[in-house]
Amino acid sequence: MDIKKYIRDVPDFPQKGVMFRDITTLIKEPKAFHYVIDALLEKYRNVKIDKIVSVEARGYIFGGALAYNLGCGLVPVRKQGKLPAETIRLEYDLEYGKNVIEIHKDGIKKGERILTLDDVLATGGTMLATCKMVEMLGGIVIGCAFVANLTYLPGTKTLKEYKIFSVVEY
């Protein structure tokens, strides 16, 4: 299946010069959504994963479905101030600015094998911060999964110390 035809390109969003890859057009199409979940499941079904750490907000869509199918837990990473219990946080660079994300301190136990997951890999700042927080909590990052990898941006280089998998590349 050509997943790219289900991902909408939105030029100049959220700022001029950025080509936003919108997966909302993919998830509304059952066959395309199933295809992506099945591709992720096929990649990770025989890998020991204790939890998926998924990034707000579109990463949750895929993280929840994959965690259910793999029979593992799901831990959310959210923007600053959105999680109710004690957290750790990291600031990171976006393609178009800076942000801060947080994870619950009790979300991961030492030695747990963690798959991180988000919808799109662009500059890699969000995922790198996510991986670093997982490691700060004692988790072992076994890989970083994405629906789409924007290979014309430096995300793959930013995450060079991790195994990266994406369903589709641009």
Catalytic residues: 58, 95
Q: Of all helices (H) and strands (E), which one includes residue 145?
A: strand 140-149
Q: Say if strands 51-55 and 73-79 run parallel, antiparallel, or are unpaired.
A: parallel
End-to-end Cα distance, the chain: 15
> Residue 48: what are its φ and ψ, rounded to 5°?
-70, 115
Chain length of the chain: 170
C-alpha triplet 28, 154, 136: angle, nearest 5°: 85
Q: Which two tokens stand for residue 81?
A: 């101030």
Give one DSSP letter per residue of 69-85, joined into a string.
HHT-EEEEEEETT--SS
